[in-house]
């Protein structure tokens, strides 16, 4: 049961809920300003969704698992994975940042680095350890060629 709860989308929902709670119950009269925050927020959410879709499409094309607690059968270095080793997590972070901007949840801004920290500690570092053990030199080469986030 815990493996189905401890997933990045569940963490994202929790952080999004905290940002929404802040903007709804403790707005404190702060805001990012009219217009541009809505546009940038929408672009970040849309861009995050596109990144996630592109990454999942690569997982499907290579017929390997997208589940973060499992070791994939193949090392994916094509498509969006040429630009980022973690495009789904990057997309999650972009969605959180975009919603915070769109909602004018200024006090929720610290949630973004905390969310990135949780993703790295709970998912990325363990995944990289499994990949390093399974794919050896190929993974080492990939980490030298492709950055973790951008």
Is the overall model pTM greater than 0.85, yes or no?
Answer: yes
Reading the chain (150 residues) residue by residue, the pLDDT tens digits are 566 689 999 999 999 999 999 999 988 777 777 788 899 999 999 999 999 999 999 999 999 999 998 999 999 999 999 999 999 999 999 999 999 999 989 899 999 999 999 999 999 999 999 999 999 999 999 999 999 999
Give CA–CA dist 150/119, Å, rounded.
Answer: 15
Token couple for 80: 């969006």
């Amino acid at each position: 049961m815990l493996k189905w709860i401890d997933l990045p989308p569940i963490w994202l929902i929790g952080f999004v809920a905290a940002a929404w709670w802040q903007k709804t119950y403790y707005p404190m009269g702060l805001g990012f300003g009219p217009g541009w925050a809505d546009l940038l927020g929408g672009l970040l959410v849309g861009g995050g969704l596109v990144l996630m879709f592109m990454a999942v499409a690569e997982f499907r094309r290579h017929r390997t698992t997208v589940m973060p607690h499992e070791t994939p059968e193949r090392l994916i270095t094509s498509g969006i994975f040429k630009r980022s080793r973690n495009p789904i997590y990057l997309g999650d972070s972009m969605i959180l940042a975009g919603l915070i901007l769109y909602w004018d949840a200024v006090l929720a801004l610290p949630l973004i680095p905390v969310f990135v920290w949780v993703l790295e500690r709970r998912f990325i570092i363990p995944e990289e350890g499994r990949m390093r053990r399974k794919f050896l030199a190929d993974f080492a080469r990939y980490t030298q060629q492709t950055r973790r986030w951008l």
